[in-house]
């Protein structure tokens, strides 16, 4: 069996990033005990990630890079904004103090949800970065295919993998 549309893939990977200066920084990894499981071809991963593993089988390894344009986009300073401190209200309608480095779920006037990273906290304003955390990075993946099977009817209907290593309802 090979990786193709509507197969559930389990793989291990290590992700290293750089911003073009050649120095790589380790970001994350999965293991054989806790692999990444996903429904191939369902649009749940970066398209170029899937392109690089398509046709592989259990035991095959991979190593490839994805540039920002094909990953999470270039870093855009237009996605950094100053937000009035007065809008930081918790579920109990009490003011809360955002902390530098904290990721906070936000919502715009149209009801769109996104995450913002607190960059600085001033007396009146909070500077937040709404770029994807991997924006601007060259992504370097290495790994191994450790599992491969047919997707169930339920997985196909839901558009994602279920069970060990996948999504649980």
The whole-angstrom separation of Cα 55 and Cα 59 is 12
Residue identified by tokens 């380790």 is: 26
The whole-angstrom separation of Cα 10 and Cα 56 is 12
Average pLDDT, rounded, for the chain: 91
Which stretches of 19-99 are assigned E, i.e. beta strand?
25-29, 36-39, 61-66, 80-84
CATH domain 7-72+134-158 topology? Chitinase A; domain 3 (3.10.50)
Domain with CATH 2.40.10.330 in the chain: 77-129
Report which of residues 48 and 90 the model is more confident about. 48
pLDDT tens for 22-43 read 788 899 999 999 999 999 999 9
Predicted TM-score (pTM) of this structure: 0.81
pLDDT tens for 86-145 read 888 777 777 788 999 999 998 888 988 989 999 999 999 999 999 999 999 999 999 999
| Architecture category of domain 77-129 in CATH | Beta Barrel (2.40)
The whole-angstrom separation of Cα 167 and Cα 40 is 14
Domain with CATH 3.10.50.40 in the chain: 7-72+134-158
pLDDT > 90: percent of the chain: 76
């Amino acid at each position: 069996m090979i990786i193709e549309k509507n197969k559930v893939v389990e793989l291990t990977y290590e992700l290293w990033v750089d911003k073009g200066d050649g120095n790589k920084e380790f970001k994350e990894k999965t293991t054989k005990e806790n692999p990444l499981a996903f429904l191939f071809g369902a649009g749940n991963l970066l398209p170029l990630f899937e392109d690089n593993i398509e046709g592989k089988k259990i035991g095959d390894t991979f190593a490839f890079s994805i540039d920002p344009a094909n990953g999470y986009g270039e870093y855009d300073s237009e996605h950094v904004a100053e937000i009035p401190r007065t809008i930081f209200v918790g579920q109990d309608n009490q003011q809360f103090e955002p902390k530098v480095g904290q990721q906070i779920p936000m919502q715009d006037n149209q009801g769109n949800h996104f995450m913002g990273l607190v960059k600085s906290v001033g007396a009146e304003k909070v500077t937040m970065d709404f770029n994807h955390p991997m924006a601007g990075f060259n992504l370097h993946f290495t790994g191994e295919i450790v599992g491969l099977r047919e997707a169930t009817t339920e997985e196909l209907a839901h558009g994602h993998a279920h069970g060990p290593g996948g999504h649980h309802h």
